[in-house]
Amino acid sequence: MYKYFLVFLCLVPSFTFAGEVRNVNFAAFQKVDKDFEFEAIVEGKFSDFITAMKGSKVLALAHTADARDGDVITMQTSVLRDGGDNLGDYGTDCQLSFKDESEGTDTSFLLGGICHIEQVGRGKDVRKTLIIPHTNIPDTSQGFDGWIMLDEDEETGVAFYANVSVESQK
């Protein structure tokens, strides 16, 4: 009987996550229109968000399933090419720490970390490192559909956005 009780106790923590799954949504864009300005907050559903970015191009979209406090989310979208005498690297590479500081029904999510932007080759040698402080990102299940800009590098025209969506598991 004691063994069954211990097995039950080991399974109890997994039941607490069975009801909801938190998904971190992350996007990177680069300006293509020199007059385009990224907004700090973009309201609306995903289609509204993409429409609001019409002066830029999508570099990456990521949707992580079942993010938990302390997870490190990585996203890499690079193209490596042989430039004859050297190897060129174009793209972004991010490692972001997800924090869940929610208490009860009051949700609070933070995302921050490091993003590298590299444009090396074809006559360019741009290597940028952005330190993104932990930033509150919206929970779309709390009535606000929108995306928050985490950071923007004006030299390369690259901006990073995020939000969290929560879905019920049945």
Residues 133, 95 contacting (CB under 8 angstroms): no
Q: Residues 20-51: pLDDT tens digits?
A: 888 999 999 999 999 999 999 999 999 999 99
Domain spans in the chain, listed from the N-terminal domain onward: 21-162
Looking at residue 170, what is its pLDDT?
63
Tell me the per-residue pLDDT of 79-117, one tens digit each, with 9 for 90 and over: 887 766 667 778 899 999 999 998 888 889 999 999 999
- For residue 112, CA distances in Å to 56, 83, 144 come to 23, 33, 20
DSSP secondary structure code for residue 103 in this structure: B
Query: In terms of Cα–Cα distance, which of 61, 56, 58 is closest to 75?
Result: 61
pLDDT tens for each residue of 128-160: 999 999 999 999 988 889 999 999 999 999 999
Quick check: pTM over 0.85?
Answer: no
